Structure 1
Amino acid sequence: MDIPEIDVDELYQRFTAGTPLVDVREPDEFAGTRVPGARSIPLGEVPARVAEIPTEGQVMLICGKGGRSMAAAGFLRSQGFDVVNVLGGTEAWVAGGFPVESGPAT
């Protein structure tokens, strides 16, 4: 099954319009640098925390470079979620000059 992918410019447009973003990196990575307002659900916890992911509308998934979020996208798609993967992940977001935040997840 093909998972749709978007670039960070599209991520910015969709996120500012209210599309939810789930960051599947580990907590220490998430605390370092992240897209402001992203929700942290580490890849290994996605199956156990699937109830925390919105079922209405599309959900965007991000990680460091795009690999882990693609794995999460495959799992979530198999569970009936409408998901897209962010190409280049957080590294591309930072390189694009978009806003970031850091610190522990709240």
Structure 2
Amino acid sequence: MTVREISVDDLAAASNSGEVTVIDVRNPDEYAAGHIPGAHLIPLPELGDRLAEVPTDRLVHVVCQSGGRSAQGAELLTGAGIDAVSVDGGTQGWTASGRPTTTG
């Protein structure tokens, strides 16, 4: 299965044009250190068991630190019938582009 990817710029544009769903699949300590504002934490090992928390009526953006785990998460969600994309570059790319993050 091929996972669709989008750039952090595409995610930022989508965020500016309306509500987007971002699932952060990193570990809780990584998320607490800094995450994309509005991102919902579901660590990758828990994602399969927490599918009920993921919206099925809109595109879901999956993010991790740099893009590896998010591709796995997007593949899992797509396999479950959820429209999902991996954010290439992840939170690291988001931060490097000068965009804000939230801690805690």
Shorter-chain TM-score tier: over 0.9
Q: Partner residue of 1:76? A: 77
Deviation at 1:57, TM superposition (A): 1.4
Instruction: Find the residue that maps to 1:15 and give its secondary structure.
Output: helix
User: Are residues 1:13 and 2:13 paired?
Assistant: yes
1:7-46 → structure 2 map (5 Å cutoff): 7-16=7-16, 17-46=18-47
TM-score normalised by the chain length of structure 2: 0.96
Q: Per the alignment, in what secondary structure is the counterpart of residue 6 of structure 1?
A: strand
Number of residue pairs aligned between Structure 1 and Structure 2: 103
How far apart, in 2, do the equivalents of 1:79 and 1:15 lie? 24
Amino acid at match of 1:6: I
Q: Per-residue deviation at 1:9?
A: 0.8
Question: TM-score, length-normalised on structure 1?
Answer: 0.94
Flag as ranges the 4+ runs of structure 1 deviating above 3 A: none
Alignment of 1:50-69 (within 5 A): 50-69=51-70
Structure 1 range deviating more: 12-21 or 91-100: 12-21
Q: Which structure features the higher share of helix residues? A: 2
Secondary structure at 1:21 match in 2: strand
Residue 15 of structure 1, CA deviation: 2.4
Structure 2 segments unaligned to the other structure (5+ residues): none
Aligned-pair identity in percent equals 44
Cα displacement (A) at 1:90: 0.5
Mark the runs of 5 or more structure 1 residues left unpaired by the alignment: none
1:43 corresponds to which letter in structure 2?
A: L
CA-atom RMSD, angstroms?
A: 0.8
